[in-house]
């Protein structure tokens, strides 16, 4: 399979297999005005397989959203056909407006103008709690 290189944009690499579609949706990439390549199950020397995302435009991307889904990715910034920066990200201590609280009794369910804030409570299990109601954010069932 041949996927063209990009002139300006991002290559999000080393995504755990299956997570690229989650990142694609969370970054709302279906609504941007440029080419986006979503590659799944690409061969990887380190992990066997990996996913990749190529975004053909330098846009504002929320790194916390990417780190929430997969904190081990590498983000390559490409300008004029050259990688000018490699970004490593880490799991964020706080998530602000990345997703919504699942608890129907949370104040954020009624007060939609409140920021959706979650604090990291366990780095090993990547557990977040709602800043308002203390509900645990279920990583695989979150709403965005």
Same domain, 82 and 98: no
Residue 4 in domain: no
Q: Which strand (E) or helix (H) includes residue 117?
A: strand 117-122
pLDDT, position 47: 82
pLDDT, position 46: 84
Report pTM.
Answer: 0.84
What is the span of the domain harbouring residue 81?
A: 9-88
pLDDT tens for each residue of the chain, 144 residues long: 556 788 999 999 999 999 999 999 999 999 999 999 999 999 988 889 999 999 999 999 999 999 999 999 999 999 999 999 999 999 999 999 988 888 999 999 888 889 999 999 998 888 999 999 999 987 665 555
Same domain, 77 and 15: yes
Instruction: Report whether 141 contacts 102 (CB < 8 A).
Output: yes
Same domain, 69 and 99: no
Instruction: Report whether 26 contacts 69 (CB < 8 A).
Output: yes
pLDDT, position 44: 87
Same domain, 74 and 100: no
């Amino acid at each position: 399979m041949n996927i063209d290189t990009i002139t300006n944009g991002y290559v999000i690499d080393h995504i755990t297999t299956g997570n690229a579609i989650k990142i694609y949706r969370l970054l709302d990439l279906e609504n941007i005005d440029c080419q986006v390549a979503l590659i799944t199950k690409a061969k990887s020397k380190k992990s066997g397989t990996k996913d990749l995302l190529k975004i053909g435009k330098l846009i504002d991307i929320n790194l916390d959203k990417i780190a929430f889904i997969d904190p081990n990715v590498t983000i390559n910034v490409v300008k004029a056909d050259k990688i000018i920066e490699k970004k490593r990200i880490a799991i964020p201590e706080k998530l602000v407006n990345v997703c919504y609280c699942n608890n129907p009794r949370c104040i954020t369910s009624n007060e939609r103008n409140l920021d959706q804030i979650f604090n990291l409570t366990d780095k090993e299990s990547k557990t977040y709690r709602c800043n308002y109601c203390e509900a645990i954010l279920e990583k695989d069932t979150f709403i965005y």
